[in-house]
Amino acid sequence: MAAVVVTIAGRTYRMSCEDGEEPRLEQLARYVEGKILSMREGFGEIGDQRIVVMAALAIADEATDARGRAQAMEMDIAALRAELDAARKASAAMEARVAGALEDAARRLERLNADLQKSAAPRDEFP
């Protein structure tokens, strides 16, 4: 188990995390700290607790929006997969119809060729 020290809103926190997760945790802490600093610039000094709560709500709002977009994209992907599946089935059906038509045309050509061969064969002529 690893540990990392982060500073958020002027306070230092020692946090435990899985080995290798330290950079991610530090990145998240910097993001939260940046959100707090941005709120302070916008609202001034309105109290540490209030600014932290406002930053947490802003981050929760971003996360909710991101989840909504991700769900919408997942629905779009599912719809596109269904369209692709339908197109593949339609293509397979069309290929089968074309193959059948080609086989039918080939049989008819073979019959015509056989008929032509019969009509072009030399005939014994009797007077």
Residue 32 has a CB neighbour count (10 Å cut-off) of 17
Contact yes or no for 26/12 (Cβ under 8 A) = no
pLDDT digits (tens, 9 = 90+) for 33-77: 999 999 999 988 888 899 999 999 999 999 999 999 999 999 999
CA gap 42, 48 in Å, rounded: 14
Question: What angle (nearest 5°) sits at the alpha carbon of residue 55, between those of residues 51 and 58?
Answer: 140
Give 127's pLDDT tier (boundaries 50, 70, 90): low
Beta strands per DSSP E along 56-101:
none
Give 104's pLDDT tier (boundaries 50, 70, 90): very high
CA gap 42, 36 in Å, rounded: 10
CA gap 105, 110 in Å, rounded: 9
CA gap 66, 80 in Å, rounded: 21
pLDDT at 118: 87
At 21 the three-state DSSP class reads coil
What pTM, to 2 d.p., does this model score?
0.66
pLDDT digits (tens, 9 = 90+) for 71-101: 999 999 999 999 999 999 999 999 999 999 9
pLDDT at 125: 61
- pLDDT over 70 at 124, yes or no: no
